[in-house]
Amino acid sequence: MESRDDMSPFVRKLRHGARLTEDDEAILTRLAEPLHRVERGDILPEGTEARSIVLIVEGWACRYKQLENGQRQITSFFVPGDLCEPFGAVPALTDHTLSALTPVRLARVAPHAARSAAGASSRVEEALWWDLLLADAIGREHMVNLGRRSAVERLGHFFCEMHLRLEMVGLVDQSSYDIPLTQAELADLFGLSAVHVNRSLQELRGSGFLSLRDRRITIHNVGALRELSMFDPAYLSLQHRVRT
Amino acid sequence: MESRDDMSPFVRKLRHGARLTEDDEAILTRLAEPLHRVERGDILPEGTEARSIVLIVEGWACRYKQLENGQRQITSFFVPGDLCEPFGAVPALTDHTLSALTPVRLARVAPHAARSAAGASSRVEEALWWDLLLADAIGREHMVNLGRRSAVERLGHFFCEMHLRLEMVGLVDQSSYDIPLTQAELADLFGLSAVHVNRSLQELRGSGFLSLRDRRITIHNVGALRELSMFDPAYLSLQHRVRT
DNA sequence: CGGACTCTTGATTGCAGTCAACTAAAGTGG
DNA sequence: CCACTTTAGTTGACTGCAATCAAGAGTCCG
């Protein structure tokens, strides 16, 4: 049995969603095998038929939609431990592109495997549903970001969110973590132009909220940044309970 | 057995997601009982514990988040046949408010009931997952709307989307349907101000794309409106297939 | 009849986009 | 090994879409 720190990020993450036994964790670990490597770039282009669910084990990925007029909107980000589709997804044509933002190690989970894992243990089932609800909650918050927050607030909110998401899988050191994204990618995430992302970042740096150099961010005052960006961590900690 | 037209909107909708037998439809019909009525206003405020999943049978509802600074963002719309949460949702504190935009008739589905319906028939299971994926796809498209489309495009896209969603449950007559929303509500959906929604609507009316009076919309040229707003119906018709 | 909504219109403001130029770093190939 | 290209980040000038502020009209309702 692996030590707690060696566990896959997927298992580490799902521990937040249900009280897992060793058997449960073994089931989940088996789901995340075998590993594949992919380079930076599209993994599943739009219109491809998805026959398996991608689970990110290492690296960052995103899902985006490309518009006819050349614009792009990133709709979600994936970090180690994240499932890129709902665990019960039916094989279907994708309406979006799944893309690796860095070289990625991933596992391809067959839909029937994920469902039967849920059937094998009610705690695994709870954990998988918890993970799905978490992804939804992140998506909703992203909509609020896009619709109602200013550029600086969007950036601040995102950095707060990634801080907690990465902490769940042990990828945060103090208040700093790697963030392998270009400003253009951030722009496509926030629905802004790259130029404006640049200026907003400078504002956040200039006001002392954070440092961002060489693809690593350090948040100097988490409380202040959360207040600035109206970040309420509640949506990331959907509390779990044993099913009755 | 009810005739095809009398079926609940939920069953009508899920028929698009899987080939249901009469037994399957009976299972789904039973899920949508008994009915409750609620008046216009919040159904489940943020922070409430959701112990059941709301299914809209008649009327319109939405989910929104309220920001500290008074702004509001609607993250999703629900019309008859829509499940307001993933069907396997765990009882948990909600991070958003579910609100009735009109008087609503709804059913409260117990999570275990939804899951056991899925367990009872693989076709029902497929249909429920299809519905969940559809809701996700709608959410992604909403993000694209918020992030990358102009005000006029957002409105146009939404009208095209509702046209198809309502058609699925038989609520469209020709190219016109009831749309019981104020301009302020549309503004909170699109991340715009009510004033700007008003002006954008006038632009759409003035250019002859649609009429909107007395809470009823008529789209005069669906093709033209789709082109204007870069609406691609593909995301709403995730094709289904029998699980292997 | 007053009050609350909803819709409309005008005037002004401001956040973010676009265009453009420049630097620096990093990869590529002859 | 060094031109050449590409990518990422930065800065300035200007533009424009949408927000804000404000006021008025029509409707519904108690």
Per-residue pLDDT of chain A (244 residues; tens, 9 = 90+): 444 556 899 999 999 999 999 999 999 999 998 899 999 999 988 888 888 999 999 999 999 999 999 999 999 999 999 999 999 998 888 999 999 999 999 999 998 899 999 999 999 999 999 999 999 999 999 999 999 999 999 999 999 999 999 999 999 999 999 999 999 999 999 999 999 999 999 999 999 999 998 899 999 999 999 999 999 999 998 765 444 3
| Residue B176 sits at the chain A interface (C-beta within 8 Å) | no
Q: Which nucleotides of C are covered by protein (CB under 7 A)?
A: 5-11, 15-20
Å from the A215 CA to the D7 C1': 15
Instruction: Name the band, by pLDDT with cuts 50, 70 and 90, for residue B91.
Output: confident
Min Cα distance A73 → chain B (Å) is 6
* pLDDT score, position A242: 41
Q: What are phi and psi of B119, to 5 degrees?
A: -70, -25
- The distance between the two most distant Cα atoms of chain B, rounded to a whole number of Å, is 53
- Which pLDDT belongs to residue A239? 65
Which pTM does this prediction carry? 0.94
Mean pLDDT throughout B30-44?
Answer: 91
- At residue A6, the pLDDT reads 66
Residue B244 has pLDDT above 60, yes or no: no
| pLDDT for res B242 | 41
The residues close to strand D, meaning Cβ under 7 A, are A 182-184, 194-195, 198-199, 201-202; B 150-152, 191-193, 195-196, 200
A43, A54 Cβ separation under 8 angstroms: yes
Residue A223's pLDDT is what? 97
φ, ψ (nearest 5 deg) of residue A178: -75, 140
pLDDT for B6: 66
**Residue B140: left (phi > 0), alpha (psi -120 to 50), or beta?**
alpha
Per CB-CB distance under 8 Å, the chain B contacts of A191 are 146-148
Task: Let me know the angle formed at the C-alpha of A140 by A93 and A122, rounded to the nearest 5 degrees.
Answer: 75
- In this prediction, residue B243 carries a pLDDT of 41
Is residue B5 predicted with pLDDT exceeding 90?
no
Contact (CB<8Å) B147/A86: no
User: Which residues of chain A does B149 touch, with a Cβ-Cβ cutoff of 8 Å?
Assistant: 67
What pLDDT sits at residue A50?
83
Contact B65 A90 (CB under 8 A): no
pLDDT at B22: 95
Would you state the structure tokens that stand for residue B225, as one six-digit string?
């409106």
Q: pLDDT value at position A82?
A: 98
C-alpha to C-alpha distances, B164 to A92, B42, B171, B237, nearest whole angstrom: 20, 26, 10, 10
> Quick one: which H or E segment has residue A160?
helix A151-168
Is the CB atom of residue A150 positioned under 7 angstroms from any atom of strand C?
yes
The phi, psi pair for B160, rounded to 5°, reads -65, -40
Q: Which residues contact A162 (CB under 8 A, 6 or more apart)?
A: A77, A79, A177, A179
Q: Is the peptide bond before B9 cis (omega within 30 degrees of 0)?
A: no
pLDDT of residue B1: 47
Domain boundaries defined on chain A: 9-236
A73 to chain B, any CB pair closer than 8 A? The answer is yes
Question: Closest residue by Cα to the C1' atom of nucleotide C15?
Answer: A150
B9-236 CATH fold: Jelly Rolls (2.60.120)
A164 touches chain B (CB under 8 A): no
Q: DSSP readout, B127-142? A: HHHHHHHHHHHHHHHH
pLDDT band at B241 (very low <50, low <70, confident <90, very high): very low
Q: Which amino acid is at B97?
A: T
**Spatial distance between the Cα atoms of B218 and B163, rounded to a whole number of angstroms:** 10
* φ, ψ dihedrals at B208, nearest 5°: 80, 10
> CA of B85: which chain A residue's CA is closest?
A133
Chain D nucleotides close to protein (CB under 7 A) are: 7-13, 17-22
Average pLDDT, integer, range B199-208: 97
Question: Residue range B49-66: average pLDDT?
Answer: 94
pLDDT tops 90 at residue B23: yes
CB B32 within 8 A of CB B8: yes
> Minimal Cα–Cα distance from A24 to chain B, Å?
18
How far apart CA B34 and CA A140 sit, in angstroms, is 29
Higher-confidence residue of B48 and A235: namely: A235
List of residues 6+ apart from B41 with CB closer than 8 A:
B99, B100
Residue B205 confidence (pLDDT) above 90? yes
Per the CB < 8 A criterion, the answer to whether A88 and A135 are in contact is: no
Find which nucleotide's C1' atom is closest to B215's CA: C6
